[in-house]
Amino acid sequence: MSSHEILYVVCSYLLGSIPFGYLIFYFSEGKDIRTLGSGNIGATNVLRSKGKLAGLATLALDILKGALPIVYGRIHFDLPWVILLGGLAVLLGHVFPVFLKFRGGKGVAALVGIFLVFHPPSLLVFLAAFFAALWLTRYVSLGSLLGTTALFFSILFTQVAEASMVAFVMLLLIVFRHRANIARLLDGSEHKFAFRKNG
């Protein structure tokens, strides 16, 4: 890899490490979001712990930080796998942020931002699988896992092999971060998403 490509990957990781959910909750509540709810810094836990506005702000910012490196990569690099490597770096930053001692989120919103720019048709596949699973089961985690799996297969059949390999590492990373959710899904204790509040 060239020095430009290496710098691109490093900067993408540092951008991914910015913990927007943590910052939004800390500056509004003076507390560490990781001590509440699921302990995650992502939009779902911020939504449950703080409310819709904070949750949506976290979601939007996490999507944006996934999208920005891909925008840069598409302008400056020709190889799809190099561009997507910046996306993987963002994802790693979000999951293992250097600014929070490598204790971060689950990466799904950043993944959405990455493929919003890199390959929108694959993102549509993700969203279709995600919302179908969420509607049928009310499990955000299951929707995320099925959506990411569907996205990978979309990339596998539409992109070059190297890009598919990077996407597969992303899938493994998402599954790894959802391992506790998988255990709760299997024993029936996973928290269900409420489409509307009672009363």
What is the Rg, in whole angstroms, of the alpha carbon atoms belonging to the chain? 16
Domain locations along the chain: 3-187
pLDDT, position 52: 87
Share of the chain above pLDDT 90, in %: 70
Q: Give the tens place of pLDDT for each residue, 92-126.
A: 999 999 998 898 889 999 999 999 999 999 999 99
Q: Give the tens place of pLDDT for each residue, 141-153.
A: 999 999 999 999 9
Residue 194 has pLDDT above 80, yes or no: no
pLDDT, position 32: 86
Q: CA-CA distance, 3 to 48, in Å (whole number)?
A: 42
Bigger pLDDT: 193 vs 198: 193
**Amino acid identity of 123?**
L
For 100-158, the three-class secondary structure string (H helix, E strand, C coil) is HCCCCCCCHHHHHHHHHHHCHHHHHHHHHHHHHHHHHHCCHHHHHHHHHHHHHHHHHHH
Q: Is residue 83 very low, low, confident or very high in pLDDT (cuts 50, 70, 90)?
A: very high
Residue 165 has pLDDT above 50, yes or no: yes
CA 149 to chain centre: 13
Which tokens go with 20? 């927007």
Question: Of 78, 168, 171, 67, which Cα lies nearest the Cα of 119?
Answer: 67
Q: CA-CA distance, 129 to 51, in Å (whole number)?
A: 25
The total of other beta-carbon atoms located within 10 Å of residue 53's CB is 12
Residue 156 has pLDDT above 80, yes or no: yes
The beta-strand segments (E) located in 15-102 are none
Residue 198 has pLDDT above 80, yes or no: no
What are the φ and ψ backbone dihedral angles of 192, each rounded to 5 degrees?
-95, 145
Report yes or no: 132 and 139 within 8 Å, Cβ to Cβ. no
Mean pLDDT across 76-90: 95
Q: Of the given ranges (36-40, 76-80, 96-100, 157-161), which has the lowest mean pLDDT? A: 36-40
Distances (CA, A) of 21 to 82, 92, 133, 140, 177: 28, 16, 24, 17, 17
Query: Whole-prediction pTM value?
Result: 0.89
Q: Give the tens place of pLDDT for each residue, 6-43.
A: 999 999 999 999 999 999 988 988 888 888 877 788 88
Mean pLDDT across 67-88: 95
Q: DSSP letter string over 149-185?
A: HHHHHHHHHHS-HHHHHHHHHHHHHHHHHTHHHHHHH
